[in-house]
Amino acid sequence: MSKYGSFPSARPRRLRGSAVMRRMVAEERLHPADLVLPAFVREGISAPVEIGSMPGVLQHTRDSLRKAAVDAVDAGVSGIMLYGVPEDAKKDAVGSVGTDPDGILQVALREVRAEVGDELLVMSDLCLDEFTDHGHCGVLDAQGRVDNDATLERYAEMAQVQADAGAHVVGASGMMDGQIGVVRDALDQIDREDVAILAYTAKYASALYGPFREAVASSLRGDRKTYQQDPANVRESLRELALDLAEGADLVMVKPAGPYLDILARVADASDVPVAAYQISGEYAMIEAAAEKGWIDRDRAIMESLLGIKRAGASVILTYWATEAARRL
C-alpha cells in the first residue's frame, strides 16, 4: 500500500517488456504468403519507367516483369496481379486489345506463367479501363453511360482469353452487377473450372486511385461513381458480398484497404471464402511521400499499415511493397 492506494496486480505491461515476449504473444502475424504484388507491364518501351507518383514502382517491360515475378517467388510472395498498359493508338471504345490474344496483358500472362509455372499465382485484372479510349470499366451506351449488360459480354470474353493465356486467378474488378456469375459461366464453358475468381466485392469510388491512373496511362473522362461504391455506405458492401458469394466467387476483396478497415472487418466476419484487401496506389504514395519528407519512419509505417490490414481480417493483401515486405518478414 502506498499513499496513492494499492498498486495494480494486473499488469499488461509484463507482456510488452521484451521483443521476444512481444513476439510470442502477438495476436496477428504477417507472412510472405499473405502478400500479392500488383505489377504493370507497358507496351512499346525498351526499359522500365518509374511512375512519378509511386516512387519505386515501375511500368515494366516484358523482360523486367519476368524478373519481378521471379523476385516475388524468391521472397515467398504468393501471387502477382498483372495490369496491361497498351499503346494509346490501340485503345478503342470497347477495349478490343483486352480480348486480343496478342494484347499486351495476354502476352505478359503467357510469359510470366512460362517463367514461374505454378510457383507463383499469376493473376490478371479483368476489367476494360486500361484498354478503352474513354477510360471507363465498361462499354458505353448512346448516352455515354456504362452499359452493364453489354459490359458483361466483354468480361466473359476477357475471362476466357485470360484463362487461355495462363491466369490462375482472374480479378473481376469492374463492379458490374452480375459479373461473377457471368465470368464463372464463361470459364466453365471452356472447361476452365480450375481458374479461380477474385471478386472485387467492395470497390469504393475513392480519391486515392490517382497514382494508379498514372500507372496505367488512364484515359478516364468523368468519374466512376455510378458503378463503384459510395464511400458513405456499409450495408451495400454486405449486399454485394452476398451476391458475389451466391454467384461463385472464390475469394472476395475490399478496395481500398486502409480507409475502409471497418468494411474489411465486416466483410471478413460475414464471408465463408478468403478475404483480400488492396492497399492501393494512394495509400502507397502517402507513406512514401511522408517518408521522403522525413516525417515518418518509412519501414515501420509500411509494416504497421500491412499489419493493420491483416488485423482487420484480410487473409490476402495486395500491396506494391509485397516483395520488399516479404523479404523483411
In terms of Cα–Cα distance, which of 76, 83, 36, 33 is closest to 58?
83
313 grid coordinates: 481480417
93 grid coordinates: 471504345
- Report cis status (omega within 30 of 0) of the bond before 256: yes
200 grid coordinates: 472485387
203 is catalytic: yes
CA–CA distance from 79 to each of 40, 125, 234, 292 (Å)? Answer: 14, 13, 29, 28
Collect contacts of 22-29 with beta carbons under 8 A, ≥24 apart.
Answer: 27/311, 28/307, 28/310, 28/311, 29/310
Task: Please list, in sequence order, all residues whose beta carbon lies within 8 angstroms of the beta carbon of residue 287, skipping any fewer than 6 positions away.
Answer: 296, 298, 301, 302, 305
Beta strands in the chain (DSSP E): 35-42, 49-50, 58-60, 79-85, 121-126, 169-172, 196-203, 251-255, 275-278, 316-318
CA distance linking residue 292 with residue 298, whole number of Å: 8
From 67, 91, 225, 255, active-site residue: 255
CA distance linking residue 77 with residue 325, whole number of Å: 9
From 3, 67, 203, 225, active-site residue: 203
Question: Cβ atoms within 10 A of the Cβ of 31, count?
Answer: 11
CA distance linking residue 68 with residue 36, whole number of Å: 12
3 is catalytic: no
Main-chain phi, psi angles of 196, to 5 degrees: -90, 155
Give the HSE-up count for residue 45: Cα atoms under 13 Å, Cβ half-sphere: 22
Number of continuous H segments (helices) and E segments (strands) in the chain: 11, 10
Catalytic residues: 203, 255
